[in-house]
Structures are given as structure tokens and as C-alpha cells.
């Protein structure tokens, strides 16, 4: 109800504050945006500026040893030291559990979805020890198919049939030696994390209990996140100093374990960043990408000709108020000037009935067909367990609808059969459906 209340308050604010007039620049703040009526109003009326407002805060250099706190000594996004985490990099790591099953002997590094469905630690108390600044997973398409034992070139189970296209890039293989396909991480802020922790949404059993609760109540919306909730998905590639100027990227130094047990120091650069916030009932979606990927220059981007160009009226067009050719004025003379806003999404359908599409050439492939952040995430779900099925392991740890490259309004028939509820939504977040572990696990990283 708080999200609805924020939306009602936002309507009143829109009558007073005309956010529709694009701002020439945005004020710097040490406070995380989101969760207020003012931010809801901005997300509705000026989504492109709101996307940049999020970008400017989340990519501020972080306070060492704290979770989600911007360093006040770095006055804005242009003030930073090399190889240091930004705010979102200090959030809770949702990824990190799949390699524990794909590569025997590797630990489960997720800070949210622990072995055997154990409760995660209190926010910010994780033990972050290790050689590497990053624990990245291979692109989720291949990782999913590997763990459910889908041979290269085959379609696989029905709930992942849309995700076989990545085999055209290279054969499925583990461990990841070539590391030429890009890798990613998913992280969540304190609000998202504490909802998952407090409501036992981190385990298969907890999610299935929510499904049963929905059955008993006869309603879908039993899993709800607060308006301040956020989740990000970031894509990284290994940088080659002989081809790329690493200072054009937000980069981190990683220590990688090789197949023979030795370690190698590598430099990885950020190339894609999805941001989702619960400022709106169907969430607010923004997608950023490194400019090299848009131009297909030494970047793991889809080779398909660009059919969905960057849309950002704050920086594109003859009357853009806040920048030129995709570059925001606040980022000039910094690494962040190389990151452009691909687009935002606040609805399934636009005002004249067209399906809204937002995609990323790194995280998703344009050749896969229609791509809508909101529509795909509307399918994030959990259903009843199948007693006859073997105990599942991440990914696809719960019975769920599975993602799909589609756009437009959700179909009620996805969730019901002959009027009987089969699946409930997990409030637009896939990480629970994919990554929750079960207390019944008999194998894993331990």
C-alpha cells in the first residue's frame, strides 16, 4: 500500500512541481534516491532525469567497509580513485551460488542465497574476504542451461527454451577459461535484502510457503517489496590494455583462479548496468551501457544491427538540456562520460498502444526478438513443488514460469490454468526464483 500511497502523493506533487521540464543538471546528494513521493513523481514525469539521478548516486565512490554509503569526501561522480568500489558494488551479492554447483569445489559466494536455504546475515555484516574484487558469473543464459544439463545446440526444458541462443557464440564449457563472453553480477540494496531476509524469501521452502499463502488467500500479491527497494544487474568484460584505454571504463582488478590452480591478475571493465527500483508498482527500469558496446568496438555486444537506439532526451537532439550525443554534462572529463542511457521503462504499453521495449546489447541479444525489462520480469514467479521431481539446485531452483523475450502486457493465463492459480509473482524480481536454495539439498558447495 505504501507504493500506491507514494503514487497518489506523486500525483499531487506533479500539480506543484513540473518535473516534465528536463533539468539542465541534477543536485548532488549523499542520500540514496528512491522510496519517497518526490522520487515517484520524478520517475513518472521525468523518467530520464530520474534514471540519471540514480546513476549519479549509485556510481559514487563508496565508503570503505560499509554497505551502500557514498564517500562524502568524493563530492560527485567525477571524484574517484582507481579500482575502488562504487555504492552499488557494496550492496548484497545475489549472484555467486551457481558456480558452486557448476564447478565442484567452488564455494557459494552469494550473500543472499546460502547453501541449504540458510538465513543470510544481517545487512552489512558479511565477511568479505578473498583475493578478488569481483565474483562474477558467466552470462546467465549458458549458466542456466549448463546446470540443468542441456547439451549444446538443443532446446532444453520448456521453461528455458527461449534461452538457447547463446550457443551461437561458443560451445558450452566450464571452467570458464577464455572468458570472452562477458560476465555479470546481481546486487540488491538494504530494503530489498531485508524484505527477502525477514520474509524467508531466500529459500525454496519460504517461497513455496508464500505460494501456499496466496492459495489460501485467493490473491496474487503476497510477495511485496517496499518503495525504497532496488536491484542492479551489471555486466563486465575483461579489458586488454593493448586494445582499450582502461581509464575509459569503471574498472576493477580481479584475481582469477585458472583451471590448473594457479591465479592470474586481470582487469575487468563495467559495460552494462540495469537498475530497477520499486518507486512504481511495476518498478522503474533504467538501462545504461558503455558507448563502445553501442558501437561494437572491442566489446561483447550483440552483432545484430542496432534496431533499438539509445533514447535519452536529456542528452540527445538539438534541444537537449543536459548534454550532447548521449553524454551528460555532469560526467564530462571522467570515465562516466563513456556510459550512456539506453532507455527507461515505466509501463508495458505507451500512450498510443505500442509495446514498450528496452534492451541492452551486452546483457541481452537484440536478435532474440522483442525485449521488455518489465514484461520479462512480470513473469518472475514461483509455483508449487513437484514431489516427484529431484531436488533442484540453482538456477531455476523453484518451479517458475521462466523468462522470455517478449513485450507488452502480461497474460493472466501465464499464472492460471482454467481459472486455477498455478504461479504467483515474486514482485518482478527473478533472483529469488533462480537462486533460492532448498534445505533438502544433498549436494552443493559444502
How confident is the model over 359-381, as pLDDT tens digits?
Answer: 777 776 555 556 788 998 999 99
Which residue has better confidence, 221 or 308?
A: 221
- Would 441 be classed as within a structural domain? no
**Containing H/E element for 137?**
strand 137-138
Residues in contact with 171: Cβ distance below 8 Å, sequence separation at least 6, in sequence order: 152
In this model, does residue 145 exceed pLDDT 90? no
Which residue has better confidence, 137 or 138?
A: 137
Least confident of 18-27, 150-159, 188-197, 237-246: 150-159
Least confident of 105-109, 213-217, 238-242, 330-334: 105-109
- Would 445 be classed as within a structural domain? no
User: Shortest CA distance to 203 belongs to which of 403, 393, 421?
Assistant: 393
Least confident of 25-29, 135-139, 343-347, 363-367: 363-367
Share above pLDDT 90 across residues of the chain, in percent, rounded to a whole number:
52
Confidence of residue 200 (pLDDT cuts 50, 70, 90): very high
The pLDDT, as a whole number, for residue 99 is: 58
- Would 443 be classed as within a structural domain? no
Mean pLDDT value across the chain: 80
The pLDDT, as a whole number, for residue 123 is: 98
pTM for this one?
Answer: 0.85
Dihedral angle of Cα 252, 274, 17, 40, to the nearest 10 degrees: -120
Highest mean pLDDT pick, 103-112, 262-271, 345-354, 388-397? 345-354
- Would 135 be classed as within a structural domain? yes
Residue ranges making up the domain that contains 418: 2-435
- Distances 301 to 55, 163, 181, 251, 272 between C-alpha atoms, Å: 21, 17, 9, 18, 10
Q: Which three cell numbers stand for residue 439?
A: 534445505
In this model, does residue 417 exceed pLDDT 70? yes
The pLDDT, as a whole number, for residue 190 is: 99
Highest mean pLDDT pick, 92-106, 258-272, 276-290? 276-290
- Would 332 be classed as within a structural domain? yes
Least confident of 29-33, 118-122, 285-289: 29-33
Backbone phi, then psi, for 76, in 5-degree steps? -160, -175
Strand partners of residue 252 = 268
Complete DSSP assignment for 188-257: E-HHHHHHHHHTTTTBHHHHHHHHHHHHHHT-STT----TT-EEEEEEEEE--TTTS-GGGS-EEEEEEE
- Would 280 be classed as within a structural domain? yes
Residues in contact with 239: Cβ distance below 8 Å, sequence separation at least 6, in sequence order: 246, 249, 251, 267, 268, 269
- Would 442 be classed as within a structural domain? no
Specify burial of residue 260 (Cβ count, 10 A radius: 0-12, 13-18, 19+).
exposed
Q: Span 425-434, mean pLDDT?
A: 93
Find the length of the chain.
446
b/e burial code for range 73-89 (CB count within 10 A of at least 16 → b): ebebbeebeeeebbbbb
CA atoms within 13 Å, Cβ hemisphere of 128? 18
Least confident of 135-139, 144-148, 161-165: 161-165
How confident is the model over 1-59, as pLDDT tens digits?
Answer: 555 555 555 444 444 444 444 566 777 788 999 999 999 999 999 999 999 999 999 99
In this model, does residue 444 exceed pLDDT 80? no
User: Shortest CA distance to 15 belongs to which of 45, 51, 35?
Assistant: 45
* C-alpha–C-alpha distance, residues 240 and 412, integer Å: 47
Q: Span 340-350, mean pLDDT?
A: 94
Q: Which three cell numbers stand for residue 369?
A: 526478438
| Angle made by CA atoms 182, 307, 21, in degrees to the nearest 5 | 100
Q: Span 144-168, mean pLDDT?
A: 34
- Contact status, residue 29 vs residue 22, Cβ threshold 8 Å: no
The count of structural domains within the chain is 1
- Would 427 be classed as within a structural domain? yes
Confidence of residue 429 (pLDDT cuts 50, 70, 90): very high
In which residue are the cell numbers 563513456 written?
338
User: Shortest CA distance to 372 belongs to which of 409, 421, 422?
Assistant: 409
* C-alpha–C-alpha distance, residues 414 and 42, integer Å: 32
The pLDDT, as a whole number, for residue 309 is: 79
Least confident of 17-26, 64-73, 405-414: 17-26
- E-strand ranges in 307-440 read 323-324, 327-328, 339-345, 381-382, 416-417, 420-421, 424-425
Amino acid at each position: 500500500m505504501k507504493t500506491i500511497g507514494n503514487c497518489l502523493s506523486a500525483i499531487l506533487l506533479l500539480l506543484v512541481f513540473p518535473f516534465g521540464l528536463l533539468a539542465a543538471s541534477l543536485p548532488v546528494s549523499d542520500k540514496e534516491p528512491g522510496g519517497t513521493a518526490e522520487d515517484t513523481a520524478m520517475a513518472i514525469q521525468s523518467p530520464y532525469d530520474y534514471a540519471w539521478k540514480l546513476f549519479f548516486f549509485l556510481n559514487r565512490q563508496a565508503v570503505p567497509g560499509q554497505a551502500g554509503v557514498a564517500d562524502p569526501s568524493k563530492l560527485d561522480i567525477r571524484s574517484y580513485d582507481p579500482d575502488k568500489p562504487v555504492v552499488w558494488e557494496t550492496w548484497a551479492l545475489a549472484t555467486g551460488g551457481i558456480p558452486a554447483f557448476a564447478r565442484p569445489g567452488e564455494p557459494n559466494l552469494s550473500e543472499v542465497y546460502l547453501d541449504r536455504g540458510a538465513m543470510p546475515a544481517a545487512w552489512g555484516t558479511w565477511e568479505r574476504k578473498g583475493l578478488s574484487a569481483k565474483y562474477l558469473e558467466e552470462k546467465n543464459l549458458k549458466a542456466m542451461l549448463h546446470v540443468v544439463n542441456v547439451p549444446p545446440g538443443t532446446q532444453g526444458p520448456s521453461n528455458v527454451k527461449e534461452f538457447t541462443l547463446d550457443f551461437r557464440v561458443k560451445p558450452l564449457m566450464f571452467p570458464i577459461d577464455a572468458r570472452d563472453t562477458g560476465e555479470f553480477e546481481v546486487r540488491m540494496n538494504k530494503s530489498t535484502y531485508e524484505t527477502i531476509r525477514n520474509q524467508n524469501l531466500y529459500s525454496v521452502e519460504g517461497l513455496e510457503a508464500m505460494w501456499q499463502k496466496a492459495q489460501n488467500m485467493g490473491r496474487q500479491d503476497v510477495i511485496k517489496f517496499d518503495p525504497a527497494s532496488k536491484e542492479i544487474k551489471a555486466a563486465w568484460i575483461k579489458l586488454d590494455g593493448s586494445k582499450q584505454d582502461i581509464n575509459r571504463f569503471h574498472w576493477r582488478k580481479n584475481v582469477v583462479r585458472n583451471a590448473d590452480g594457479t591465479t592470474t591478475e586481470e582487469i575487468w571493465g563495467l559495460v552494462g548496468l540495469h537498475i530497477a527500483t520499486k518507486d512504481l508498482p511495476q518498478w522503474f527500469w533504467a538501462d545504461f551501457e558503455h558507448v563502445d558496446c553501442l558501437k561494437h568496438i572491442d566489446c561483447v555486444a550483440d552483432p545484430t544491427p542496432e534496431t533499438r537506439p539509445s533514447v535519452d532526451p536529456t542528452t540527445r537532439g538539438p534541444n537537449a538540456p543536459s548534454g550532447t550525443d548521449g553524454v551528460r554534462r555532469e560526467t564530462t572529463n571522467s570515465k562516466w562520460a563513456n556510459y550512456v542511457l539506453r532507455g527507461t521503462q515505466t509501463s508495458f504499453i505507451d500512450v498510443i498502444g505500442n509495446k514498450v521495449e528496452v534492451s541492452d546489447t551486452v546483457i541481452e541479444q537484440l536478435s532474440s526478438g522483442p525485449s521488455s525489462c518489465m514484461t520479462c520480469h512480470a513473469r518472475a514467479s514461483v509455483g508449487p513443488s513437484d514431489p516427484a521431481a529431484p531436488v533442484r539446485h540453482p538456477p531455476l531452483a523453484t518451479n517458475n514460469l521462466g523468462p522470455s523475450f517478449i513485450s507488452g502486457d502480461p497474460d493472466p493465463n501465464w499464472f492460471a490454468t482454467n481459472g486455477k492459480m498455478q504461479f504467483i509473482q515474486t514482485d518482478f524480481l527473478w533472483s529469488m526464483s533462480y537462486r533460492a536454495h532448498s534445505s533438502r539439498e544433498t549436494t552443493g558447495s559444502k
